[in-house]
Chain A
């Protein structure tokens, strides 16, 4: 099969083995990503534990509408990404381009909402620094906002990297580079995108849902 010959690198015995190696490599990378984020999550847990009330009050200053809309956008983009990977596994390059472009569109929408949210924080003097307006009942609110910007900011960087990776995948698919036998790059880009989604799944309750019932 000529397709197989082209897809198989010389240091692998079979396509199966090559595919397995690529997936394990990607999961190893994702494990380092988990640890990358986990330092921030650990910091959040400790300060949330120490300054419980300040965090409750400060979290009410975040906009739950932006947060919920963004969660819905990212979850839906994960669906279109999964459909893109599905199309790649069937070797339908045109469909891959279409699904990945929709996913990029959702990612861009996420960034726009995030930008609007940051702008609101900027206007309300909620960005830590000289212009930060302290909240009288919550003396440690500034720690919440430090963590908020560090965590959502790092996540936003990952979204932007994702847009870059997906653009390359769309370009390759437009050039008919994938088929039933060779589609691993799209699969791995999909893994990365779903990971970014998972990080947000945890950021959403930790930032927006702490204390909404009052």
Chain B
């Protein structure tokens, strides 16, 4: 058959690494590292995902065409996340030229949780 039969030992090694990574991600979450908490949790999740995809799902031993098909879904996922976040994270960056609208934003937008009050900038 075309699929290479992988030795059983590899599966046990991958499983052991996954369990170690689970323990590490649980352990890291117990400490306050600020923004690094989310970064560490997601990095470990991505490593675990790659281990599962490459070894349990045999992508490492599959044809290049399978690599393309497996990657396509994630590529479009990344495009969606990048474009959406580039909108949501930059909404407070631009102040409207219109003084009335700008004052309205200062009054109302800052009440939304998560929005820090902006320093008023001089308008031209």
- 1/0 per residue B28-43: CB within 8 Å of A? 0111110001100110
Q: Are B88 and A49 in contact (CB under 8 A)?
A: yes
- 1/0 per residue A60-76: CB within 8 Å of B? 00001000100110011
Q: Does A176 lie at the interface of the complex (its beta carbon under 8 Å from any beta carbon of B)?
A: no
- 1/0 per residue A66-94: CB within 8 Å of B? 00100110011011011100100110000
Q: Are B22 and A79 in contact (CB under 8 A)?
A: no
Q: Are B88 and A24 in contact (CB under 8 A)?
A: no
Interface of B is mostly: helix
Q: Are B73 and A35 in contact (CB under 8 A)?
A: yes
Q: Does A103 lie at the interface of the complex (its beta carbon under 8 Å from any beta carbon of B)?
A: no
In angstroms, Cα B3 to Cα A180, docked, is: 11
- Whether A197 touches B11, Cβ cut-off 8 Å, given contacts A38-B77, A50-B112, A140-B113, is no
For A192, give the chain B residue with the smallest CB separation. B57
Residues in B with CB closer than 8 Å to A16 are 2
- Whether A35 touches B76, Cβ cut-off 8 Å, given contacts A46-B84, A213-B32, is yes
Most chain A beta carbons < 10 A, residue from B1, B38, B72: B1
Q: Are B72 and A31 in contact (CB under 8 A)?
A: yes
Q: Are B11 and A209 in contact (CB under 8 A)?
A: no
Residues in B with CB closer than 8 Å to A81 are 56
Residues in B with CB closer than 8 Å to A30 are 70, 73
Q: Are A213 and B31 in contact (CB under 8 A)?
A: yes
- Whether A201 touches B69, Cβ cut-off 8 Å, given contacts A68-B22, A75-B18, A209-B26, is no
Interface residues of B in 26-82 (CB under 8 A from A): 26, 29-33, 37-38, 41-42, 44-45, 48-49, 52-53, 55-58, 62-63, 65-66, 69-70, 72-74, 76-77, 80-81
B33 to A: closest C-beta gap in Å: 8
Residues in A with CB closer than 8 Å to B88 are 46, 49-50
Contact count band on B: 35 or more
In angstroms, Cα B88 to Cα A86, docked, is: 46
In angstroms, Cα B58 to Cα A34, docked, is: 18
- Whether A42 touches B81, Cβ cut-off 8 Å, given contacts A72-B19, A82-B56, A83-B8, is yes
Q: Does B86 lie at the interface of the complex (its beta carbon under 8 Å from any beta carbon of A)?
A: no
- Whether A209 touches B114, Cβ cut-off 8 Å, given contacts A45-B85, A72-B19, A75-B18, is no
A73 to B: closest C-beta gap in Å: 11
- Whether A78 touches B69, Cβ cut-off 8 Å, given contacts A38-B77, A212-B29, A213-B30, is no
Q: Are B22 and A31 in contact (CB under 8 A)?
A: no
Residues in B with CB closer than 8 Å to A139 are 113
Q: Does B101 lie at the interface of the complex (its beta carbon under 8 Å from any beta carbon of A)?
A: no
**Option from A42, A52, A64, A76 in Cβ contact (under 8 Å) with B15:** A76
* Extra inter-chain contacts (15) besides given A75-B15, A79-B11, CB under 8 Å: A15-B2, A19-B2, A20-B66, A31-B69, A31-B76, A38-B77, A41-B77, A45-B85, A49-B88, A52-B113, A187-B58, A198-B53, A205-B42, A206-B41, A210-B38
Enumerate chain A interface residues (CB-CB to B < 8 A).
15-16, 19-20, 23-24, 27-28, 30-35, 38, 41-42, 45-46, 49-54, 64, 68, 71-72, 75-76, 78-79, 81-83, 86, 89-90, 139-140, 180-181, 183, 187, 190-191, 194-195, 197-198, 201-202, 204-206, 209-214
